[in-house]
Structure 1
Amino acid sequence: MLTFINYAFGNLYQKNGGYECGIINKAEPGATNPNAADAGTGGDAWADYQKNFGANEAVSGKGDTWDFPTNDPRYGKAGAGPLKGNFNQLKQLKAKHPNLKVIISLGGWTWSRWFGKAAATDALRKQLVSSCIDVYIKGNLPYDAGSNAGGDGIGADVFDGIDIDWEFPGGGGQPYNAVDPNDKKNYTLLLAEFRKQLDAIGAQNGKRYLLTVAIGAGGDKIAMTEPGEYSKSLDWINIMSYDFHGGWETNGPTDFQAPLYGDPDSPNYKAGQYAPTYNVDGAVKALLAGGVPTSKIVVGVPFYGRGWTGVTKGPQGDGLYQKATKPAPGKYEEGIQDYRLLKSAAGTVYEHPVAKTAYKFDGTTWWSYDTPGTMKLKMDYVKAQNLRGSFAWELDGDGPNAELLKVMSDGLK
């Protein structure tokens, strides 16, 4: 059912007088303390390419080996070991499904610390892009003796392109992120440099590498960039059209995290400024107005919900647009819950006639999320607007038998 998978995330590091892609093993301090001096500098090389998968969990049915087969010319070569971990499983998945493309996503909410600095000058942009291509396209993975994994070229042919998930040019992300007053122009220039260097290596090995971005969907985020310009370098734009509202707004009012359309009755909508743009249609219209062709727009949908507890019933009895006391309890963190858990949670499910999204209320706890029914409405919208397609964050939030993904796949045929 999938055409592409984004593997998230890769990080950037201060290195060689600039900023470079790399893969290290380090717990992420910013996950628990965004004010830590080294917040945003973590990495998970173990999961990426060092962990051994057994035969019973491997895509191919063949487990990872400690060393190369004895007939492999790399056998016994110092500083090189076989590819393992998630990278090897992705490579096996591509072998099983030859039309599937895998893209490395760089940055994300936690690892966008250095984009503002790395994009600031032509020399720094060239250094960053060259390093990312070296690691993820050429597959030159740092060799790790402890797991006997990695080495020059070991990770080649895993990734078919690069996705830049800078959250966000101009600010609004983590407090430790570098923000430059020239982020708007530098973002465009950074993407042009990625396109240039990806095309150069593609010409060498006869491939065309994909270049995409994930962007903040609010009109305020889009206004901090030049969509008509930067989109010229891209294959498509993944709009993160979710997280419009959530438990970080501690006391509410409850509101939709991923509405297809804005609801003029929402207190947030009534507040004006950019709030009326906080919906899928608002993001799409902003990109189209900015000069992005429909063929480069991909709508994001969530496989999770956001919610509050201590919610009053309100005049309609459904808790919508009501005050709350705190974020709802979640399995991994408060205020957020996977669809696979929400679908069987207590409460009554409602579909909003204007926003075209769903919500659930049990009298105290209120969740905003998409059901198969409202997911289909979004796919209908993608087709009606002649957009490129849709993507979801993230795969493991789906229900049994990939039920939301099936709605997406069927709805886009």
Structure 2
Amino acid sequence: MVDARTLRSWRAVGVLAFAIALVVASGPAPAMGRTANTTGPPAIADAPPTDPDGDGLYEDLNGNGHWGFPDVNLLFQHTDDPRVVDHTAAYDFDGDGQVDMQDVLALFEHDRLVARATLDPAGSVTPGTTVTLDGRNSTASTSIDAYTWRVNGSRVGAGETATIEVTDPGPKRVTLTVRDADGRTATTTETITVRSADQRVIGYYRSWSRYQRDYRPADVPLDRVTHLNYAFLDVRSNGTVVLGDSWGDRQNLRAFRNRSRAHPETTMLLSIGGWSYSEAFSDAAMTPERRERFAESAVRIMRTYEFDGIDVDWEYPGGGGAPGNTVRPDDAHNFTLLMETLDEHLERAGEADGREYTTSIAVSADPEKVDRLEWDRLEAHVDLVNLMTYDYGGPWSETTGHNAPLDRPETAAVDSVSEATRSFADTGYPMERVQVGVPFYGRGFAGVENGTAHVGQAFSGTPDGTYGTSGVYTARDIEQRLNDSAAGYRFHEAAAAPTLYLPDREILISYENERSIRAKARFARRSGTGGVMVWALGQDPRARLLAAIRAALTTSDRPSTAYK
């Protein structure tokens, strides 16, 4: 009887001798892998073949769940069998597009020691997280005698599995080295990123930025945000979630899919709705069938582009959004049912994909809109809440005012960021999962004849803004306007907000600069919230405001528990 070890010594004789040896060879051989998926080509032996290492090639021809020398013999005997020839892709071990004697030799010489490491949790984690290292999917032709785990070069464990507790922020290279009975070794490396102990920075990327501002996925500084929300997908009345711009969205989402592979530490969510795409939300959430369709279609797009979750931005359940939105008395309750259905679908997808997916919602800072929602039920199905604490002052106001005042100035009739945050805490939703919203844009007022007071003054219209948008100026545009020597700048201490007056045009702009952004980020941290949400990336293309947020969130001040 000729076994596999003998064949190794005959290899130099050539394929002919190899073939002769296969004819006379018989009997069992050492196992070459782990039990694997049993779907694939039809059976050649007693059981269907399997793909033990998941590479798309069916090395286990006899279907016993292992990859070994009998499978080499079986391929040799059936290279002309229609069950093999008609499934060339499954048996093309040498990659030449056909199945012949070279594939038999390639199967015999196939990699017989493969290291595979699985990390749980994977991607991005917080300090203090315990991570399980699992090497049980590694494969060998004989047996694996040793497992060695290292993190950034330092040995942390041995055995098929190990656990580590990560503490210091930054990327960690987890390396698994396996050694088989013949003394050979194989190595694989996975990376896990430990986020700094500060809070989240969630940035919205607007899909239309590629047209209006030529701000593309490649321009987004993913190293400065913990989460990226892609805005927006549309929803139809029947519940189906669709791309708002079939061409542009595909270009953007493919680009973010590629970037996410290089930035696993950044959680990417697909955001559905927004001000312009909330018209049909009430219809979509109205029936169980439509809610199912919403969840199925949203999850399908999410998985297609390898995103990490879904953000729902219904503006707003029960009314108060754009003119023409459908509104029903049951919107708030149906919103709860919609989020429950979405969460169920994401859980099933996570179980199938071996990971967890994230749900989030964007919520108005208006207490009346907040109080409509069923927070006692939403808490179990919504991981994160982004509070839209901006747009306090604008064209709808009676007098000039701040876009996002931290505290209410004495002369102002509007609410403030701090008041809205305190009010939201009354819902009982965990504040460590809530992000305080900050705008990367300013709002302008036209016809302001006297700019000395800046706020609380009469105005008579709305200026064009940066791109012809009604009174909206990007941070970059405002920064350039500050170079105008005639411009009047003022920082309002109580509001922690700057204003800019352009006397030649009688325009007043309320906006954010690095000083005001730091104040709001410090407030978010000290208040025990989860961090900061930004609307929107691209309005600050040089990322100066993002840098200010990160700096304010990474200090050593201990957060209070005032809003927990």
Determine if the TM-score, normalized by the shorter chain, exceeds 0.5: yes
Is this contact kept in 1: 2:240–2:290, CA < 8 A?
A: no
Which residue of structure 1 aligns with residue 491 of structure 2? 351
Which residue of structure 1 aligns with residue 332 of structure 2? 184
Is this contact kept in 2: 1:222–1:286, CA < 8 A?
A: no
Inter-partner Cα distance in structure 2 for 1:189 and 1:284:
25
1:245-394 equivalences under 5 Å are 245-249=393-397, 252-266=398-412, 269=413, 275=414, 278-313=415-450, 317-332=452-467, 333-345=469-481, 346=484, 347-363=487-503, 364-394=506-536
Match of 1:87 among 245, 250, 253: 253
* Cα displacement (A) at 1:248: 3.7
Which residue of structure 1 aligns with residue 247 of structure 2? 46
* Cα displacement (A) at 1:185: 1.4
Is this contact kept in 1: 2:302–2:308, CA < 8 A?
A: no
Instruction: Give 3-state SS (helix, strand or coil) of 1:344's partner.
Output: helix
Report the AA paired with residue 345 of structure 2: Q
Instruction: Give 3-state SS (helix, strand or coil) of 1:223's partner.
Output: helix
Inter-partner Cα distance in structure 1 for 2:456 and 2:279:
34
Instruction: Give 3-state SS (helix, strand or coil) of 2:372's partner.
Output: coil
**CA RMSD in angstroms, aligned pairs only:** 1.5
Inter-partner Cα distance in structure 2 for 1:261 and 1:176:
33
* Cα displacement (A) at 1:399: 5.1
Which residue of structure 2 aligns with residue 396 of structure 1? 538
Structure 1 residues 2-44: Cα deviation after superposition (integer angstroms, max 9, x where no partner): 1111110000124xxx221123xxxxxxxxxxxxxxxxxxx21
Report the AA paired with residue 343 of structure 1: E
* Cα displacement (A) at 1:117: 1.4
Percent identical = 30
Inter-partner Cα distance in structure 1 for 2:336 and 2:409:
33
Inter-partner Cα distance in structure 2 for 1:383 and 1:228:
24
1:111-130 equivalences under 5 Å are 111-130=277-296
Inter-partner Cα distance in structure 1 for 2:233 and 2:375:
24
Is this contact kept in 1: 2:454–2:499, CA < 8 A?
A: no
Structure 2: gaps (5+ residues): 1-223, 555-564
Which runs of at least 4 in structure 1 moved beyond 3 Å after TM superposition? none
Report the AA paired with residue 417 of structure 2: V
* Cα displacement (A) at 1:161: 0.3
Instruction: Give 3-state SS (helix, strand or coil) of 1:405's partner.
Output: helix
Which residue of structure 2 aligns with residue 213 of structure 1? 361
Is this contact kept in 1: 2:233–2:271, CA < 8 A?
A: yes
Which residue of structure 2 aligns with residue 405 of structure 1? 546
Structure 1 residues 145-173: Cα deviation after superposition (integer angstroms, max 9, x where no partner): xxxxxxxxxx3x1x100000000111111
Which residue of structure 1 aligns with residue 312 of structure 2? 164
Is this contact kept in 1: 2:375–2:428, CA < 8 A?
A: yes
Inter-partner Cα distance in structure 1 for 2:541 and 2:255:
22
Which residue of structure 1 aligns with residue 102 of structure 2? none
Instruction: Give 3-state SS (helix, strand or coil) of 2:425's partner.
Output: helix
Inter-partner Cα distance in structure 1 for 2:380 and 2:492:
36
Inter-partner Cα distance in structure 1 for 2:544 and 2:283:
41
Which residue of structure 1 aligns with residue 83 of structure 2? none
Inter-partner Cα distance in structure 2 for 1:310 and 1:228:
46
1:11-160 equivalences under 5 Å are 11-14=234-237, 18-23=238-243, 43-49=244-250, 85-137=251-303, 139=304, 155=305, 157=306, 159-160=307-308
Instruction: Give 3-state SS (helix, strand or coil) of 2:409's partner.
Output: coil
Is this contact kept in 1: 2:440–2:474, CA < 8 A?
A: yes
Which residue of structure 2 aligns with residue 73 of structure 1? none
Inter-partner Cα distance in structure 1 for 2:360 and 2:431:
15
Structure 1 residues 242-274: Cα deviation after superposition (integer angstroms, max 9, x where no partner): 11221244xx400111111222321xx2xxxxx
Report the AA paired with residue 284 of structure 1: T
Instruction: Give 3-state SS (helix, strand or coil) of 1:354's partner.
Output: coil
Is this contact kept in 2: 1:247–1:328, CA < 8 A?
A: no
How many residue pairs get aligned? The number is 324
Structure 1: gaps (5+ residues): 24-42, 50-84, 140-154, 270-274
Inter-partner Cα distance in structure 1 for 2:541 and 2:344:
40
Inter-partner Cα distance in structure 1 for 2:460 and 2:316:
29
The alignment's TM-score, normalised by the length of structure 2, stands at: 0.56
Change (3 A) 1:193 1:264: farther
Change (3 A) 1:264 1:223: farther
* Greater displacement, 116-125 / 304-313: 116-125
Change (3 A) 1:399 1:11: closer
**Which structure would you say has the larger Rg?**
2
Instruction: Give 3-state SS (helix, strand or coil) of 1:307's partner.
Output: strand
1:3 paired with 2:197, answer no
Inter-partner Cα distance in structure 2 for 1:342 and 1:22:
35
Which residue of structure 1 aligns with residue 343 of structure 2? 195
Report the AA paired with residue 548 of structure 2: V
The alignment's TM-score, normalised by the length of structure 1, stands at: 0.75
Report the AA paired with residue 22 of structure 1: V
Is this contact kept in 1: 2:314–2:362, CA < 8 A?
A: yes
